[in-house]
């Protein structure tokens, strides 16, 4: 596979889309023990115009703990239908998810332009977060305004370039005999 370049990557993005590639990392601080430097989240954004940004999202432990609570609320709500309990669970979920919206979604949307399709390549606990459920400031959920797709890596977009093409050479019939 040829080398990954920004031009090749952004060329593969669908129209009106943006790629968010997340990583967790531990900053290196000279003369400071590695074990006490907290991990952090960083996001790289790539758009169809070839623009890219890097956004520091904050300490991973804080974001990860919010994701754990969201996951717990979603799991708790999976067996509750149309009642007072459901409204309370949704309210509780929205409160926690709003914090994730402020920490993750809004900082990245600043550089997303007019996109309506967000391609997410998560890392760490972000792979457990359904970005669609994040509430927006207008009272809607992210899924009501954006289409989301998930990749294990942004490089997966380039695999489409090198996928072997299968030429049709006639009909294929599959059957099973009853003997």
* pLDDT tens track for 119-157: 999 999 999 999 999 999 999 999 999 999 998 887 677
> Which of 151, 160, 134 has its CA nearest to residue 44?
151
**Residues 50, 24, 130, 85, Cα dihedral to 10°:** -150
Sheet harboring 147-150: ordered strands across?
52-59, 40-47, 17-25, 117-121, 147-150
Banded model confidence at residue 167, pLDDT cuts 50, 70, 90:
low
Banded model confidence at residue 95, pLDDT cuts 50, 70, 90:
very high
Q: What is the pLDDT of residue 92?
A: 85
* 32-39 own/partner pairs: CB under 8 Å, 24+ apart: 39/124
pLDDT at 111 over 70: yes
Give the percent of the chain with pLDDT over 70. 77
Residue with tokens 């289409």: 147
Q: Is residue 36 part of a domain?
A: yes
Q: Is residue 166 part of a domain?
A: no
Kindly report the CA angle at 71 between 61 and 25, in degrees rounded to 5? Answer: 30
* Chain mean pLDDT for the chain: 83
Helix (H) or strand (E) run with residue 90 in it: helix 84-100
Total of domains in the chain:
1
The token pair that represents 148 in the structure block: 């989301």
- Determine the Cα–Cα distance for residues 104 and 125; give it in Å rounded to an integer: 13
Q: Is residue 13 part of a domain?
A: yes
Q: What is the pLDDT of residue 82?
A: 55
- Determine the Cα–Cα distance for residues 39 and 131; give it in Å rounded to an integer: 21
Residue with tokens 């169809």: 48
pLDDT at 104 over 90: yes
Instruction: Name the residue with higher pLDDT: 144 or 51.
Output: 144
Q: Is residue 104 part of a domain?
A: yes
- Structural domain range at position 42: 6-161
Q: What is the pLDDT of residue 175?
A: 60
Q: What is the pLDDT of residue 160?
A: 60
The token pair that represents 89 in the structure block: 């669970």
pTM metric for this prediction: 0.79
Q: Is residue 169 part of a domain?
A: no
Q: Is residue 65 part of a domain?
A: yes
């Amino acid at each position: 596979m040829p080398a990954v370049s920004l031009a090749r990557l952004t060329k593969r993005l669908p129209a009106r889309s943006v790629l968010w590639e997340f990583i967790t990392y531990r900053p290196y601080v000279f003369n400071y023990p590695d074990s006490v430097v907290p991990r952090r989240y960083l996001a790289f954004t790539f758009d169809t115009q070839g623009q890219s940004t890097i956004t520091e999202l904050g300490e991973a432990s804080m974001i990860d703990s919010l994701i754990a609570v969201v996951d717990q609320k979603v799991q708790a709500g999976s067996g509750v239908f149309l009642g007072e309990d459901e409204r309370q669970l949704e309210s509780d979920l929205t409160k926690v998810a709003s914090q994730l919206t402020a920490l993750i979604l809004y900082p990245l949307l600043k550089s997303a332009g007019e996109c309506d399709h967000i391609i997410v390549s998560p890392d760490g606990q972000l792979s457990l977060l359904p970005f669609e459920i994040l509430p927006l400031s207008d009272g809607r959920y992210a899924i009501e305004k954006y289409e989301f797709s998930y990749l294990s890596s942004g490089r997966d977009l380039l695999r489409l370039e090198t996928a072997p093409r299968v030429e049709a050479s006639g009909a294929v019939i599959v059957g099973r005999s009853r003997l």
